[in-house]
Amino acid sequence: MTLLDGNIYKARMVSRSNFKKSLLTLSLIASLGCGGGGGGGGGADEFVGAARVSVRCSPKKIDSGDRTQVSITLSQVHENGIAVKIRFPIGLKYVPSSSFLMVGERELDVTPTVNATSDTEEMNYVVFYLTQAQFSRSSQEYTGEAGTLLIQLEGRKTVTDGEIEVDPDVDDPAEDNSTEFDISSPEFISEASASISVIAQDDGSKPKR
């Protein structure tokens, strides 16, 4: 190979590398574009935290009695596993048996350990405990791939400009999951959110005929 041929080959390899980086950037932008995302800055090697997270819901405006599907995408999951804390207005309720985790083509049934109401905040909390292994593709070693937690919420009462918020925390291996979350002190810091509104058909504000 001549010096000129070598330079052309290197240029092609750089071009391919830049193209792959562009595709990765576009896919990340697309996954974060609908709803909100968070979980720290920097590249995958620089990330330190429970998990990267983004969330969206569809539809964003529902009538009471109707449902919205919430999609929470998580990646770079901590080796200890994570507690996925979800907070939403009391005008919505979690629909039992509506949740599952999508990892590639696999669909895993998951159930929240916590489904409780904070009377002081007038907010509902649902908490899922997920292991890093649940995000692995088949038997491959986990290298930060994303999975999507899907749940359904049902409208009950009027919600105006509400937020569905998510806070992933590192699971504490020394604490039993059944007692790890305290509704009186949820220690919640929102890292991603999506807007939601509920239009009540009859919230009691109008006299019945």
Question: pLDDT (tens digit, 9 = 90+) per residue, 98-116?
Answer: 999 999 999 999 999 999 9
Residue ranges in the chain assigned as alpha helix (H):
3-33, 177-180
| Domains of the chain listed by start with CATH number | 34-199 (2.60.40.740)
| The pLDDT of residue 140 | 79
Q: Tell me the β-bridge partners of 85.
A: 127, 167
**Nearest partner of 169 among 89, 103, 104, 77, judged by Cα:** 77
Q: How does pLDDT run across 159-177, given as a tens digit for each residue?
A: 999 999 999 999 999 999 9
Name the burial class of residue 68, with classes exposed (0-12), middle (13-18) and buried (19+) by CB atoms within 10 angstroms of its CB.
buried
Please name the amino acid found at residue 115: N
DSSP-assigned states of every residue in 40-71: --S-GGG--SS-EEEEEEESSEEETT-EEEEE
pLDDT at res. 15: 38
- DSSP code per residue over 90-114: TTEEE-TT--EEEETTEEEE---SE
Residues of the chain with pLDDT under 50: 1-34, 40-44, 205-209
Per DSSP, the three-state class of 8 is helix
Check residue 207 and give its pLDDT: 40
Identify the pLDDT of residue 209: 39
Verify cis geometry, omega within 30 degrees of 0, for the bond prior to 96.
no
Letter for the amino acid at 208? Answer: K
